[in-house]
Amino acid sequence: MLHRRLPGTDLDLSVIGMGCWTIGGQYWGPTDDTDSVAAVRAAVEHGISWFDTAPLYGNGHADTILARALGSHIHKVVVATKVGVRQDGVGPEGQDGHAHSDLRPAHILADCEQSLRRLKEPLDLLQVHWPCEWGTPLSESVGALERLRERGWIRHWGLCNYEAEDLRLARSLGPVASLQTPYSLLRGEFEAELRAVCLEGPVPLGVLAYEALCRGLLSGKYRQPPRFAEDDMRSWDERFEGEAFLHGNRLAQDLAAIGARLGVSASAVALGWVARQPAITAVIAGARTAAQVKENARAAALLDKEKVWEVVDKVRGL
């Protein structure tokens, strides 16, 4: 497994990390905790050295499964978690339990304290889950994150889902360690201004890419638009419908054909492509089974196959 240093930190990350949203057991249809524990253990076995989780993922359930699966091994891997989302809002259609971002210092402190209880670690990387919806000035949130670092509760802090302007402001206010952002063969908005901001300065900002498999669409496993369980958010994700599905699936089938010649799946090709892109430190691959994790980890061995990537770039341009 190839490792890369998160710039400006002491964190070495396998180029493929495991994302824990699915194993949280919410928004991805039914999950099985036994499969989830096996998936986490398979990740370690196949050289994956870091895990991305969040309080939001099953309201702490992903953390609980991660801690259970890793046991004392949790000290040997990097755990990246998140902060700043509350689940006590009212949704646009009046529903209770709506998730919304609260980045007031008091909430950052309380949220981090809960994560420490579940993960029982100084947290390697604490990432703001998404920008503030409550009007807290960024400087106040950055101050709170720095205080957590000074207390030794966290080792580094980063941001998720920030746009170029706010990211630049955050970088001027404190030592941001990373940006987590969506990026895939189907989703290239990172390539505009955001990537340029990450590359600014004497030390570039580490970038952790998510949704590199387009929630499973780029695995190439679908023959027709899938029908998901009602509690699986993909049942209302338009990328799994109509022309968007056909477009994504055509690309996935091309990746599957490229992968077949190398003895790997479309998933490994899709993940490998993202891992090779300028500014990307590592890719987060979500998974629900040990078999998926094993397949995803194989992406790391493809990165130096220049001819393969020329073909993938051509296929992406179609």
Q: Is 39 in the site for ligand NAP (CB under 6 A)?
A: no
Helix (H) or strand (E) holding 125, with range, is strand 123-128
List the beta bridge partners of residue 50. Answer: 78
Residues 150-169 that bind ligand NAP (CB under 6 A): 160-161
Q: Which amino acid is at 188?
A: G
CB of 310 to ligand NAP, least distance (A): 24
Cα distance between residue 258 and residue 245, in whole Å? 20
Which residue number, 213 or 279, has a Cβ lying nearer to ligand NAP? 213
Rg (Cα) of the chain, in Å, rounded?
Answer: 19
User: Which range touches ligand NAP (CB under 6 A), out of 20-28, 90-98, 193-201, 250-258?
Assistant: 20-28
Q: Does 61 bind ligand NAP (CB under 6 A)?
A: no
Q: Does 276 bind ligand NAP (CB under 6 A)?
A: no
- Cβ atoms < 10 Å from Cβ of 318: 8
Among 288, 290, 297, 315, binds ligand NAP (CB under 6 A): 288
Closest residue to ligand NAP, Cβ-based? Answer: 19
Structural contact between residues 105 and 141, judged by C-beta atoms closer than 8 angstroms: yes
Q: Which of residues 74-133 bind ligand NAP (CB under 6 A)?
A: 129-130
Residue 296 interacting with ligand NAP (CB under 6 A): yes
Q: Which of 69, 125, 287, 297 binds ligand NAP (CB under 6 A)?
A: 287
Sequence letter at residue 167: L
Contact status: 63 vs ligand NAP (CB under 6 A): no
Candidates 100-108, 112-120, 185-193, 280-288: pick the segment binding ligand NAP (CB under 6 A). 280-288
Half-sphere exposure (Cβ direction) of 248: Cα atoms closer than 13 Å:
29
Q: How far apart are CA 276 and CA 282, in angstroms?
A: 9
Strand bridging mode 16-19 / 280-286: parallel
Of positions 170, 280, 286, 302, contacts ligand NAP by CB under 6 A: 286
* The one among 14, 15, 16, 21 contacting ligand NAP by CB under 6 A: 21
Q: How far is CA 305 from CA 140, 144, 179, in A?
A: 45, 44, 27
From residue 291, how far is each of 16, 36, 41, 156 by CA, in Å?
15, 11, 11, 31
Nearer to ligand NAP, 82 or 107 (CB): 82
- Applying CB under 6 A, the residues found at the interface with ligand NAP are 19-22, 28, 52, 129-130, 160-161, 180, 210-216, 219, 221, 265, 267, 284-288, 292, 295-296
